[in-house]
Amino acid sequence: MVDKNPAVLVLEDGTVFKGYACGKIGTTSGEIAFNTGMTGYQEVFTDPSYYGQILIMTTSHIGNYGVHQEEVESEGIKIAGLVTKKFSDIYSRTSGMSSLGDYMDEQGTVGISDIDTRALVRHIRSKGAMNAIISSEILDVDQLKNKLKEVPSMDGLELSSFVATKEQYEVGDANNATYKVALIDFGVKKNIIRCLVERGCFVRVYPMNASVDEIKAFAPDGIMLSNGPGDPSAMKPQIELVNQLLTLNLPVFGICLGHQIFALSQGLQTAKMHNGHRGLNHPIKNLLTGKGEITSQNHGFVVTHESLEKNSNIELTHIHLNDNTIAGIRLKNRPVFTVQYHPEASAGPHDSRYLFDDFITNMKNLQSN
């Protein structure tokens, strides 16, 4: 049996779990959250929307198929830390490039295993989202509790600037593309860009502090508002940017944080959820077609029904069937729509990929006019 280093997980409310270290030996902190996906852990860990969060994986075994160089959604691991029941130090996938443990160690990601994740998730579902700290170098609980007091609340925290691009870049074939898309990067997943390029788009990715004038100079056929981490209400300059972009009268498609920022730009409000939606199996109903979708989700904030009901210019298009929260909206009589979930999936089902086709159709209609 391999000797394992002990590790400790301490929650903000004082609850303590003891287990063993996985990944890098060290200390990490952030808001603790849980993901109910049964697969796709590498895509989940590299999703920029998870920046600043310690993530519990509810499936029993993590690491059993290693990591693959093509299954990343950013340039590296973005979660603040990992909590799992069983962590596999070996992997059986022939195309894997390394073990998850080595990958986490290389990326500086601290984790804890051999935790009763069922009990932990039930605790969070009852008590709500809270900060936590993991350490495999400090085992004194009182010392960890003192460190935890210094961790800022996710409520009111701007995090996109830590993961979004600082420089403009381009993806796709400029000479043969049918459409040009300006993508505002709040923490974009690679598969969002891939889904656009696959549909004949040349994508120019802009930093979150880009100006309307430089985006207008690109003469895009449409605008994409990406996903990302943190509290959207803390992003006042980006809310104003989206408000200005809407004056260009172009098709707009927003995902997750992009959806929330769009909503705030139109006078709607967002609120922090009790424990958020994170997983690959969330049921959504499209109110325009009556069809259901199984979706990939990752968010801890949501647009409020109360503010939507006061706005006559915005229509509710999708709802989450578990709790009736807002999952999609659109501007009336305008080719502008946004969703709270991840239609690009990766990991997850492809039920919602049609939304990219809808965005393409809106750009096609604009060109034909």
- At 319 the pLDDT is 98
| Fold (CATH) for 6-148 | Glucose Oxidase; domain 1 (3.50.30)
Tokens of 281: 């199996």
Give 233's DSSP letter.
G
Report whether pLDDT(2) > 80.
no
206-220 pLDDT tens trace? 999 999 999 999 999
Say how far apart CA 309 and CA 321 lie, in whole Å. Answer: 19
Coil, helix or strand for 55?
Answer: strand
First and final CA of the chain: distance in angstroms?
Answer: 69
Please list, in sequence order, all residues whose beta carbon lies within 8 angstroms of the beta carbon of residue 114, skipping any fewer than 6 positions away.
4, 19, 20, 85, 86, 87
| Fold (CATH) for 160-368 | Rossmann fold (3.40.50)
234-251 pLDDT tens trace? 999 999 999 999 999 999
Report whether pLDDT(311) > 80.
yes
For 301-317, letters b (16+ CB in 10 Å) and e give bbbbbebbeeeeebbbb
CB 190 within 8 A of CB 197: no
Instruction: Please name which of 331, 332, 328, 333 lies closest in space to residue 343, comparing C-alpha atoms.
Output: 328
Say how far apart CA 24 and CA 19 lie, in whole Å. Answer: 14
Report whether pLDDT(116) > 70.
yes
Catalytic residue positions, numbered: 256, 342, 344
- At 108 the pLDDT is 97
Please list, in sequence order, all residues whose beta carbon lies within 8 angstroms of the beta carbon of residue 29, skipping any fewer than 6 positions away.
54, 80, 81, 131, 132, 133, 134, 147, 148, 151
349-365 pLDDT tens trace? 999 999 999 999 999 99
Say how far apart CA 260 and CA 263 lie, in whole Å. Answer: 5
8-25 pLDDT tens trace? 999 999 999 999 999 999
From-to residues of CATH 3.50.30.20 in the chain: 6-148
| Average model confidence (pLDDT) across the chain | 96
Record the pTM. Answer: 0.96
143-191 pLDDT tens trace? 999 999 999 999 999 999 999 999 999 999 999 999 999 999 999 999 9
Report whether pLDDT(1) > 60.
no
From-to residues of CATH 3.40.50.880 in the chain: 160-368
Coil, helix or strand for 229?
Answer: coil
